Amino acid sequence: MSLTVTVAGRIAEWSGRRRVWLVLAALLLVPAVATVLWRLEPWSESGLIEYPMLIRTDIPTAVAVAPDGAVWFTIEFSDAIGVLRNGRIQRLPKGTQNLEPLGLAVDAQGAAWYTDAPARVISRVSPDGAIKSFPLATPIARLGRLAVAPDGAVWFTDATTLSITRLKNGVFTRHDIGSLRSSPFGVAVEAHGTVWATLQEANKLVHISADGRLAQFDVPTRASGLGDVAVDASGAVWFLELRVNKIGRFADGRFTEFTIPTPSAGLTALAAAPDGSLWFTEIRAGQLGRLREGQVSEVRLPRSDARPFGVAVDAANNVWYTDLSGWLGMLRADRAKAR
């Protein structure tokens, strides 16, 4: 056998093996590439785009969208707050560990305000990451939701002091509920400055007028366990009824309740969209929900372990959500409208 034939045979053998290895490598790479693409692009017609957390153990919770389009989110058991800008997630160190970071909202300047119960402060983080904190007077704090009013005042609920509190120009003004079983949780501010809040255990809606007068309204379904609250562009007040799987509406002095089709869906958050829709999360069902003109539709998220928790809607009607399994996601406005 000549040297030429031997070399040619070995080259052919090597080429065959190389093709096998290339095929195997391609088969191994396809799932990995698909995973990356799925994380960044809606490569089905679902209209869903999802971004993984930078650190595998991060648990995104509350979410809010700034006027400039930045998407802010809090991270459970972390010393950072997150923001998505131009398709890129950043973690901004805040110096203290989060525990139930449920309160988050953005102001007109694009800064994010958030509750920090372990540090007993209300803090503001500017777009460049600078943080300013305002200490609470209590030795412990159990804080719920937070909202920013049109005049720049920050409102938050405090179950420890049984109050709904305003922070403006560095001064706290507390509105006491006066009931030991009230458990204030949700808070929202309408365009004219009126504040609405929920009392989980007392089963009431709270109204605080622009001049500070407080009124309470009993919700029709007893022991329904009120959660998040939002006010839409018409001034209607929407709220979650966690224990009975309903969403309530209060407008023109009347209550209306809507039952969610999926039993025990696990309602955690809601947000009023500019187009008049109301969006909410179903943590147990792994779904987003939309309520529009009295009709409920649901959107299942793409992963079996999805745990949607927070929700917000931007000015273009894109629906943003946090997923406790480690994702920040968006349902595009065109697909959201088609539901």
pLDDT over threshold 50, residue 148 = yes
Q: Residue 318: which of 306, 303, 307, 329 has the closest Cα?
A: 329
Domain count, the chain: 2
pLDDT confidence bin for 132, thresholds 50/70/90: very high
- The reply to whether 136 and 219 lie within a common domain is yes
Which amino acid, 85? R
- 319 neighbors 269 (Cβ within 8 angstroms): no
User: pLDDT of 244-290, one tens digit each?
Assistant: 999 999 999 999 999 999 999 999 999 999 999 999 999 999 999 99
pLDDT over threshold 90, residue 179 = no
- The reply to whether 211 and 323 lie within a common domain is yes
pLDDT over threshold 80, residue 26 = no
The dihedral through the CA atoms of 91, 97, 99, 105 has a sign that is: negative
- 129 neighbors 141 (Cβ within 8 angstroms): no
- The reply to whether 322 and 185 lie within a common domain is yes
**Domain containing 113 — which CATH number?**
2.130.10.10
Mean pLDDT within 129-150: 95
The CA–CA distances, whole Å, from 234 to 225, 237, 322 equal 25, 9, 27
- The reply to whether 21 and 123 lie within a common domain is no
SS3 50: strand
What is the Cα–Cα distance from 92 to 85, expressed in whole angstroms? 13
- The reply to whether 25 and 150 lie within a common domain is no
- The reply to whether 151 and 3 lie within a common domain is no
Question: 127 Cβ partners below 8 Å, 6+ apart?
Answer: 66, 68, 70, 109, 110, 111
User: pLDDT of 77-106, one tens digit each?
Assistant: 999 999 999 999 999 999 889 999 999 999
CA-derived radius of gyration, the chain: 24
The structure's pTM equals 0.86
- The reply to whether 228 and 102 lie within a common domain is yes
- The reply to whether 94 and 15 lie within a common domain is no
Q: What is the pLDDT of residue 45?
A: 58
Q: What is the pLDDT of residue 337?
A: 84
Domain that holds residue 22: 1-40
- The reply to whether 123 and 34 lie within a common domain is no
Mean pLDDT within 226-241: 97
- The reply to whether 122 and 27 lie within a common domain is no
